Amino acid sequence: MDAEAAVVGPLAEDLRVLNELSVVSEVDADAVGRAREHLEAARAILAEKTLDGPYGVRFTADGRQRSWGNAAVGLRNPIAPPLEFVKDDDGTVRADYFLRRGYEGPPGLTHGGISALILDQVLGYTATVNGCPGMTGTLTLRYRNPTPLGALHAEARVDRIEGIKAFVVGHISDGETVCVEAEGVFILPRWARERMAAEASAVTEAPAQD
Ligand SMILES: CCCCCCCC(=O)SCCNC(=O)CCNC(=O)[C@H](O)C(C)(C)COP(=O)(O)OP(=O)(O)OC[C@H]1O[C@@H](n2cnc3c(N)ncnc32)[C@H](O)[C@@H]1OP(=O)(O)O
């Protein structure tokens, strides 16, 4: 982990714990007030210097991509569980992750929209690392069984690639039972296709160098 990650990663992790405590803490009103005074002090320090817009995608000195603001995988983002992916030799992508009690939807269970967030990211990443990057065109979910909170597993594989479209399938399980199944169509957008075509044509038309 680089030096910046070692600083901001633990901040996001602290905020994940605070998110859960906001839901489950049973301290009295006086204690909540005292906690808020500390949070206000922290807020003031962090707000001293901020970006003007979203975090976006940045790159490390050695060219690796940093999506640290991403709501599913972002190292800096306390909303992200976060997910960390492992890609198998056959292209399958897997992630073991942990959902705290702040991700609750139905009592005691994971919110269905959170499962959608996770599957969108897992399937989209699978399309990208299998050579067909794109934005989610359609994501279809089947909630087969209730999804618990806590330790969960997601995985996905490319079903087929048709030109600019990747058809990806995947699921979330609690380690034993499949809870949510997903199918996604990921499409390289027209603007990206046009930019790539323009760049290819510029290379073709460039005069030969000695
Ligand atoms: C590592 C990264 C992981 C990322 C994971 C997270 C992914 C996300 O959350 S992305 C955010 C959510 N998605 C979006 O915001 C996308 C918004 N939509 C768009 O940008 C566009 O509508 C987009 C890109 C889907 C398609 O636009 P465009 O490229 O102009 O489509 P167009 O040229 O009309 O059609 C191309 C093909 O796709 C098909 N298509 C178009 N839209 C869709 C759709 N929504 N669903 C399925 N197929 C579609 C068309 O039928 C056409 O197929 P064919 O070539 O066989 O005729």
Query: Residue of the nearest CA to atom 44 in ligand 1?
Result: 137
Mean pLDDT of 192-200: 91
Tally of domains in the chain: 1
CATH number at residue 105: 3.10.129.10
- Looking at ligand 1, which atom is closest to the CA of residue 163? 55
Q: Judge whether 65 lies within some domain.
A: no
Contact of 77 with 11, CB cutoff 8 Å: no
Choice from 73, 119, 187 to test ligand 1 binding pocket (greatest atom count within 8 A of CB): 187
Please tell me the distance between residue 138's alpha carbon and the centre of ligand 1 in angstroms. Answer: 7
Q: Virtual CA dihedral for 118, 124, 127, 131, nearest 10 degrees?
A: -130
Q: Judge whether 147 lies within some domain.
A: yes
Under the banding of pLDDT at 50, 70 and 90, the label for residue 65 is: confident
Q: Judge whether 42 lies within some domain.
A: no
Query: What are the Cα distances from residue 41, in Å, to 34, 37, 45?
Result: 11, 6, 6
Residue-level pLDDT at 209 = 63
Q: Is 65 near ligand 1, meaning CB less than 6 Å away? A: no
DSSP output for 113-169 = HHHHHHHHHHHHHHHHHTT---EEEEEEEEE-SPPBSEEEEEEEEEEEEETTEEEEE
User: Could you tell me which of 168, 98, 109 has the C-alpha nearest to residue 143?
Assistant: 109
- The ipTM of this complex is 0.96
Residue 134 has pLDDT above 80, yes or no: yes
Average pLDDT, the chain: 95
Percent of the chain with pLDDT over 70: 98
Cross-strand pairs, 66: 58
The domain of 88 spans 83-194
Please tell me the distance between residue 205's alpha carbon and the centre of ligand 1 in angstroms. Answer: 30
Q: Judge whether 34 lies within some domain.
A: no
Least confident of 56-60, 103-107, 112-116, 205-209: 205-209
Under the banding of pLDDT at 50, 70 and 90, the label for residue 121 is: very high
Contact of 109 with 148, CB cutoff 8 Å: yes
How deeply is 128 buried, as exposed, middle or buried, from its count of CB atoms within 10 A (0-12, 13-18, 19+)?
middle
What is the rounded CA–CA span in Å between residue 97 and residue 51? 29
Please tell me the distance between residue 136's alpha carbon and the centre of ligand 1 in angstroms. Answer: 6
Q: Judge whether 146 lies within some domain.
A: yes
Q: Judge whether 125 lies within some domain.
A: yes
* DSSP SS3 for 87: strand
Contact of 139 with 94, CB cutoff 8 Å: no
Query: Residue of the nearest CA to atom 22 in ligand 1?
Result: 137
